[in-house]
Amino acid sequence: MDQKLFGSAMVKFLSGVLLLGLLLFLPAGTFAYWQGWLLMGILFVPMFVAGLVMMVKSPELLRRRLNAREEQTEQKQVIAWSGLMFLAAFLLAGLNFRFGWIVLPRWLVWTAAGLFLLGYLLYAEVLRENVWLSRTIEVQEHQKVIETGLYGIVRHPMYAATLLLFLSMPLVLGSVLSFAVMLLYLPIISKRIRNEEAVLEQGLEGYADYKKRVKYRLIPGIW
């Protein structure tokens, strides 16, 4: 096992747990925010398991997933806006619990949790299908166009999975206000996809033809 990679992965994982905990429970003013614990459980437990699997079976994929340093100015702006979106959504969720502004029924919270886990399964399938999957927009050496499985349905199944994850997340937290904030992900991801496709079409052989065969970017029959 690559000890350096394992250490880097654990630092990022634990930092994420700590940061999300602070963003949820500080504004909530209590550790009794059960929806916050629910989200942290369904978010971080599968993430930890997936990290261990990648560590053993595909350490290079894990290394690429840990690299979030974008080189392109446009994508740096996308990441910045995404960070602000998450910050606002999590703070609002905690405040919503503290002051009881809008209380969602438990059945809706648990349904959203199921949708969140479905999004995780889709994300895991994308990781299995695409060994070149990176958090940064780039064309890697020897990279090939993937058009099997979910990639035969939409061109960006990873973003389709994150769309399901991010829109179900605020409902797991019981916050309609946070859901409204997370709708900003739609124009943000649209901007990222358009830039990514321009990079891939220019640098990845066969991608232009792939775009002609698979018409939809994110949602079959819609976009």
Beta carbons of 113 and 201 less than 8 angstroms apart: no
For 107, residues 6+ apart whose C-beta sits below 8 A from its C-beta are: none
Q: What is the DSSP string of 89-150?
A: HHHHHHHHHHHTSSPPPHHHHHHHHHHHHHHHHHHHHHHHH-TT--SS----TT-----SGG
- The residue assigned the tokens 């409902």 is 171
Of the given ranges (133-142, 155-164, 196-205), which has the lowest mean pLDDT?
Answer: 133-142
Would you state the pLDDT for residue 136?
54
Q: What's the mean pLDDT in 23-30?
A: 97
Q: What is the CA radius of gyration of the chain?
A: 18
DSSP state of 151: G
CA dist list (Å): 192 to 33, 81, 137, 166: 33, 11, 9, 16
Highest-confidence segment of 63-67, 181-185, 195-199 = 181-185
Q: Is the CA virtual torsion 183, 174, 110, 17 positive or negative?
A: positive
Residue 113 and residue 165 in contact, taking contact as beta carbons nearer than 8 Å? no
- Cα–Cα nearest to 199, from 78, 80, 83: 78
The identity of residue 41, as a single letter, is G
Report the pLDDT averaged over residues 19-42.
97
pLDDT value of position 139: 59
- Give residue-wise pLDDT tens across range 43-67: 999 989 888 888 888 777 777 667 6
C-alpha–C-alpha distance, residues 3 and 107, integer Å: 43
Average pLDDT on 205-210 reads 84
Go through the domains of the chain in sequence order and give each one's CATH number. 3-213 (1.20.120.1630)
